[in-house]
Amino acid sequence: MANAPRRNEKSRITYMRPTRVIVHSPALLTRADGTEHKVTITDVSAQGFSLEGQEGLEVGEQIYLKVGKEEAIPAEVRWVADSQAGGVLLGDAEYSVI
């Protein structure tokens, strides 16, 4: 199990991070004000995604990601570092479309 708890030497329960899949998926990021930016999704996991190519995103910002011919997917930014950011998909969106 990818998220199964395990015990370390001090008998505290720790949790493993979900497996990340490295990808290089061009995407279109749309911000709440309607501006669009080309980004690259760099990895996905069961709990989120990382992307690069857009500065100025803010933690908590609601965005849309469009990959290929799929419909735009609602997402929320959870972390930002320069032109990199990570987040989670919202609603019933599936990571398989990324």
Digit-coded pLDDT (tens) for 11-39: 666 656 668 899 999 999 999 999 999 99
Does residue 42 carry a pLDDT above 70? yes
Fold for 19-97, please state it: Thrombin, subunit H (2.40.10)
- State pTM to two decimals: 0.76
Q: What pLDDT sits at residue 1?
A: 43
CA angle 46, 95, 35 (to 5 degrees): 120
Q: Are 59 and 77 in contact (CB under 8 A)?
A: yes
- Give the number of other Cβ atoms within 10 Å of residue 45's Cβ: 16
Q: Are 59 and 84 in contact (CB under 8 A)?
A: no
Contacts of residue 34, Cβ cutoff 8 Å, sequence gap at least 6: none
